[in-house]
Protein backbone atom coordinates (compact mmCIF):
# COMPACT_ATOMS: atom_id res chain seq x y z
CA UNK A 1 0.00 0.00 0.00
CA UNK A 2 2.84 2.40 0.76
CA UNK A 3 4.37 1.77 -2.66
CA UNK A 4 1.08 2.65 -4.34
CA UNK A 5 0.77 5.87 -2.38
CA UNK A 6 4.35 6.86 -3.19
CA UNK A 7 3.84 6.04 -6.88
CA UNK A 8 0.65 8.11 -6.95
CA UNK A 9 2.42 11.12 -5.45
CA UNK A 10 5.30 10.78 -7.91
CA UNK A 11 3.02 10.65 -10.95
CA UNK A 12 0.96 13.56 -9.62
CA UNK A 13 4.18 15.59 -9.39
CA UNK A 14 5.09 14.77 -13.00
CA UNK A 15 1.64 15.71 -14.26
CA UNK A 16 1.56 18.93 -12.26
CA UNK A 17 4.97 19.98 -13.56
CA UNK A 18 3.91 19.21 -17.14
CA UNK A 19 0.67 21.19 -16.85
CA UNK A 20 2.37 24.22 -15.28
CA UNK A 21 5.20 24.22 -17.83
CA UNK A 22 2.72 23.99 -20.70
CA UNK A 23 0.57 26.81 -19.37
CA UNK A 24 3.59 29.02 -18.71
CA UNK A 25 4.66 28.44 -22.33
CA UNK A 26 1.18 29.49 -23.50
CA UNK A 27 0.14 26.12 -24.87
CA UNK A 28 -2.29 23.39 -23.96
CA UNK A 29 -1.18 20.65 -21.61
CA UNK A 30 -3.13 18.09 -23.63
CA UNK A 31 -1.41 15.86 -26.15
CA UNK A 32 -1.32 17.32 -29.65
CA UNK A 33 -4.27 16.17 -31.74
CA UNK A 34 -6.42 15.33 -28.72
CA UNK A 35 -8.56 18.47 -29.02
CA UNK A 36 -9.81 17.45 -32.48
CA UNK A 37 -11.04 14.15 -31.06
CA UNK A 38 -12.96 15.97 -28.33
CA UNK A 39 -14.53 18.43 -30.77
CA UNK A 40 -15.56 15.60 -33.11
CA UNK A 41 -17.29 13.72 -30.29
Residues contacting 22, CB < 8 A, separation 6+: 28, 29
Q: How far is CA 20 from CA 6, 25, 31, in A?
A: 21, 9, 14
Query: What global pTM score does this model have?
Result: 0.65
The pLDDT value given to residue 33: 72
Q: Are 29 and 19 in contact (CB under 8 A)?
A: yes
Nearest to 15, CA basis, from 3, 23, 5 = 23
List the pLDDT tens digit at each of the 41 positions of the chain.
899 999 999 999 999 999 999 999 999 998 877 656 666 66
The pLDDT value given to residue 36: 61
Amino acid sequence: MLFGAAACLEVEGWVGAHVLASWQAGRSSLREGSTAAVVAA
